[in-house]
Amino acid sequence: MLIGYARTSTYEQNAGLAAQVRDLKGLGCERIFEEHASALSERPALDAAIEYAREGDTVVVMKLDRLARSVKHMWEVLDRLRGKSVAVRIENMGIDTSTPTGKLMLNILGGVAEFEREMMLERQREGIQKAKLEGRYKGRSPTARAKTAEILALRAQGHSMASIAGVLGIGKASVVRALKNPHTGTAPGTI
């Protein structure tokens, strides 16, 4: 059985979702799971599609980025499907993991993507180190620490931690740290 999965990031992308569903139907998908979910959010329809799939089925997506948010997530999804003996078909790449060639191609593409990510992170670390040596990199400015006096004043007036966080536009955890150690804005024992 072919099982389709379609996803868009926002509700405003209805045309994109409709196009995916149309194309999945055209490919012969008997059941289609669809959802509006950002790449980083939970995906109940994807979980439902994986749960629904049975041995010998194939989950079909139009593009890889509709299925997985990262290389790590892709491997997690593929491992879940492999554990059920379910194949994956990625239409725009011509990859079908029900074939040995499809499995090989997906492994190669996943490896290349992982390698590229590692290279990008290495270049980023090198750039930051160079900027630090040149005195151009200061890191993120400690916004909450700079507001310690305001935090203490609002707390003395009886404001709750949530209220202080809202008024100052900082996280509640930052308020807690500032109250625990008002001299530095950090909790004792932390840097």
- The catalytic site residues sit at 9
Nearest alpha carbon to residue 164 among 127, 21, 173:
173
Non-local CB neighbours of 149 within 8 Å, separated by 6+ positions: none
Structure tokens belonging to residue 92: 């725009």
Distances (CA, A) of 85 to 4, 42, 97, 107, 160: 16, 24, 10, 17, 53
Distances (CA, A) of 115 to 90, 112, 118: 21, 5, 5
Do the strands 95-96 and 87-90 form a parallel or antiparallel pair, or are they unpaired? antiparallel
